[in-house]
Amino acid sequence: MADDVARTDDGTGSAAAAPASPRFRHGDAGLRRVNLALFLAGLATFTLLYETQALLPALSRGYGAGPASASLTVSLATGALALAVIPVSSLSEIVGRRTVMTVSVLAAAALGLLAPLSPAFWMLLACRALQGAALAGVPAVAMAYLAEEVDRGSLGQAMGLYIAGNAIGGLTGRIGTSVLADAGGWRVALAGIGVFSLACAVAFRLLLPPSAHFQRAPVHVGALARSLRGHLTDPGLLRLYLVAFALMGAFVTVYNYLTYRLAAAPFGLSQTAIGAIFLAYLAGTGSSAVAGRLADRAGRHNMLWAGAAITIAGLALTLSASLPVIIGGLVLFTVGFFAAHSVASGWVSRRARVAPAQASALYLFAYYLGSSICGWAGGLPYARGGWDATAVFVAVLLVLGLACSISLRSARWRSPAPGRSGAPPLVKSK
């Protein structure tokens, strides 16, 4: 399954670049294949990653676990993914982006078929952790693949469509498991999602074009350490990583514990009805694609802080006692989150000229670390003060994300010194 790479041997034992193929542009048949393939990969990845989130109340009943404990089925998966993204992205520099993504999604789908067989809660947790590590290959590598193979003028839209696939994957996993759980229990739900994800994985492998602009590079520990240090000392990238941690932590916390609120009195929603609230993801699908296009035209910094501000407005509406207002707030919250995430993730790829896969992996490390830590920790205030206490916890995270977003807009970064990250300024000095 080795990738096709644009490198040849010049006869002297050194690698020389072959004539470069044109990068995919808007309207190309190749770009349509890339978009569909990565859409399916994101669909499978995020269907599997969050398949237990809508089932948390059912898992609490089935295993006698509290909200924070049940949320570990989500947090362990996202935490394992966070720990795996950096080594997996480094591996992709050797074996190729396409190979890593294929193995990743196929292995995760196979583990998804094993999860419903878990007789004890700890076994389910172990399976979910392994699944999260296996899933790391797609989010760690997909953005680097797009940055290499897609023309810069079409990259924002392609990135937005990939994020849209992630959003629909999250939606499919949550709604699909809810409907299947009402029909046959949570074990049937997880098994059904496993079969669906396996089909997506096979279609992804058949559709994705081989890499034409990837250049295989042996991994040297010293070089990795230098590029890692460059990324972590880049003030702009650090702020983008903080945005990822804060906004994703807030997002997962809301979707983890709002289900408990809506399952309890006075709402008393059924499992299927709880799953239906995740239809708010459709709004995220649209906002990520639109934000990607607007970022290419109006400026990434404007779209980023605006998206963060919208999430705060949406959170405030979820404090209402009216179910329609709560749902409206959740939709607004989701729109803002996916718009900000689409812009921030694309910004990282474009800023990092050295080791872009590693820069994207650091973004995803922060993103899923926020999901893992905050998604679990948000259950502690919920146990003490209900949804109002959890909303305060989420608000703190969102204010942090908004502050970092605004600082990217107002600051005037100079280009890093040669030998550091090699990235261009986030905002040019006037």
Which candidate, 321, 307, 330, 170, places its Cα nearest to that of 257?
Answer: 330
Tokens of 313: 């407005």
* Mean pLDDT on 382-395: 92
Q: Is the pLDDT of residue 20 over 70?
A: no
Query: Tell me: the pLDDT tens digits for 86-129?
Result: 788 778 878 888 889 999 999 999 999 999 988 899 999 999 99
How confident is the model at residue 339, as a pLDDT?
A: 85
| pTM tops 0.95 | no
Mean pLDDT, all residues of the chain: 80
Domains of the chain from N-terminus onward: 27-209+231-410 (1.20.1250.20)
Query: Tell me: the pLDDT tens digits for 218-228?
Result: 666 776 777 77
Query: Tell me: the pLDDT tens digits for 240-280?
Result: 899 999 999 999 999 989 988 998 888 888 878 888 888 88
Q: pLDDT grade, residue 373 (50/70/90)?
A: very high
Q: Is the pLDDT of residue 83 over 80?
A: yes
Which residue type, as a one-letter code, is found at position 272?
A: T
* Mean pLDDT on 132-138: 90
Measured CA to CA in angstroms, residue 381 lies from 93, 386, 392 at distances of: 42, 7, 9
Give the total residue count for the chain.
430
* Mean pLDDT on 206-224: 73
Is residue 322 within 8 A of residue 299, CB to CB? The reply is no
The Cα 390–Cα 261 span in angstroms is 11
Least confident range from 13-17, 94-98, 315-319: namely 13-17
How confident is the model at residue 427, as a pLDDT?
A: 38
Q: pLDDT grade, residue 409 (50/70/90)?
A: low
How confident is the model at residue 299, as a pLDDT?
A: 62
